[in-house]
Structure 1
Amino acid sequence: MSLNERQPSWLSRLFRRALVGIYKGAGWHAHGVVPEQRKFVLIAAPHTSNWDFVYFLGLTNDLGIKPHFMAKTSLFRWPFTNFMLDMGGVAVDRSSNRNYVQQMIDEFRRRDEFMLTIAPEGTRGTVKAWKTGFYHIAMGAGVPLVVGMMDYGSKTGGLGPAIWPTGDYKADMAKVAEIYAKVKPKYPTKGMTEIFARDDA
């Protein structure tokens, strides 16, 4: 366990076990190899259902990793503070002069291990283009992008290869799109239609 990590409470452990139980009961299983470098931006897509979270948590549990996610600071207020931290939440101060991209770059520099999960679509609905904040974070922190996959057709999922951002967003996303082309989301009609996106973080 990383020196930066905390021991989760019994309630958080119970909640996680319940979600993992749902994942296993649904017949999912994981594949893929976790990158040796445990600092990367984990792309979570396509994101078309709330079930994605449950199965994604089960997949990462099978792979033996604990990814983190961003959430606004108001969600970390008592009595949810410890629960949010235990589940991997990282508070983002939207009122700060520093934007969230810089806050996450700083977080990567502060931690020994940090696997930051980001859903570039930003919504479970149909999107025309991804937000690009995840890419700017990876570039600024000097860490790779790792594709997280959940294929509802085969009930398998896991991690794709690490892709080091080059600064050429379109070329790098072409590699990502090639991997996701083989993945079936829960609701295919809401799946990503275009990732070469609006540059609005």
Structure 2
Amino acid sequence: KGSEGKCFSAGDDLNEGDEYPEGEDTTQKILSLPRNKPIIAAVNSWCLGEGFIYLMLLTDIRVAGSGARFGLPEIAYAMAGASGSSRLSLHIPRVWANWIALTGEKITADQALQYQLINEVVPDDEVFERALEIANMIASHPLIAIQTEMECLKKCPEMTSEEAITLTRELYDRQLRIYHQEPDAKSGIDHIKGK
């Protein structure tokens, strides 16, 4: 959610200079942070530049208000590639990634939904509430199941089919062991059986 509800992210401050700070890339630091719970974006108003890139890289579910606008204006400022637009085609169909990165035009929330950038469009004044509803829906499931799915969703796309099958079996077995070790834990199988 944007600060004070004004906008999700208007992008970088172009007055901060034209050089990256020395040392490790901030993006890599952020991406390497371990996380086993989903991040839900509540996008209102503008979502541009770096904010747009981080939206794709760091969020798992995205809800936008009908008035939201998305884009990569960097090309108009001779800053092409500075925001990692090359990653765009990993998240949305390549033809739309090309359009967004090369034209610099902003797209509407409905277009973002069509391009599979976001999950849902809701009225502007319902964005945050809808994101909370989704968060509560997810939080109603057992934590170990959420963590297992998050690990699968993160790792499996970069694996071969065989590696992914092996990982999912290992994670499922780990999940069952945890269910049997914790007295208050209830597996989905027990739930179905009515135990």
Higher RCO structure (Cα 8 Å, ≥6 apart): 1
TM bin (shorter chain): under 0.3
Q: Which has the larger strand fraction?
A: 1
Instruction: Give the TM-score taking structure 1 as reference length.
Output: 0.24
Q: Which has the higher helix share?
A: 2
Higher-Rg member (1/2):
2
TM-score, structure 2 as length reference? 0.24
